[in-house]
Amino acid sequence: MKLNYHDHYHPSNDVVFSVMFGRRSLFCELVSAVTGDNVELDENPHSQASLREDDVQLNTNRFDTFARTKDKKIYTADMQRQYKQ
């Protein structure tokens, strides 16, 4: 895999993050590095995925990347540039 770098589209941009880690191999490596789990995906990651819930307070959950594993776990990876309580 070849990654090209451009100053305008650096990985701190959440769309670029989603494109990069929407690739199965990079997503697995990232989640494995963070969690220590051996991650084998059931399907390719979804980028900028959106899930809607019936609960009013959980109306919309948005993820930069989202994937299910073969052992039925769900992982998400999101680009954060600042902390919000």
pLDDT higher than 60, residue 25 = yes
The Cα 20–Cα 25 span in angstroms is: 10
- Domain around 31: 11-77
Which of helix, strand or coil describes residue 21?
Answer: helix
Decide if 16 is inside a domain: yes
Q: Which residue has the tokens 């995925």?
A: 49
Mean of the pLDDT values across residues 20-33? 87
Place of tokens 């009013």: 56
Tell me whether residue 6 is in a domain: no
SS3 at position 43 = coil
How far are the Cα atoms of 8, 10, 40, 81, 84 from residue 74, in angstroms, in the given order?
A: 32, 27, 11, 23, 23
- Using 50, 70 and 90 to split pLDDT, how confident is the model at 10? low
Q: What is the pLDDT of residue 12?
A: 57
Answer whether residue 53 is part of any domain.
yes
Say if 2 falls within a structural domain. no
**Lowest-confidence region among 28-42, 44-58, 68-82:** 44-58
Number of domains in the chain: 1
* 84 is a domain residue: no
Position 5 in a domain: no
Considering the domain boundaries, does residue 30 fall inside one?
Answer: yes
Query: Residue 74 corresponds to which tokens in the numbers above?
Result: 């769900």
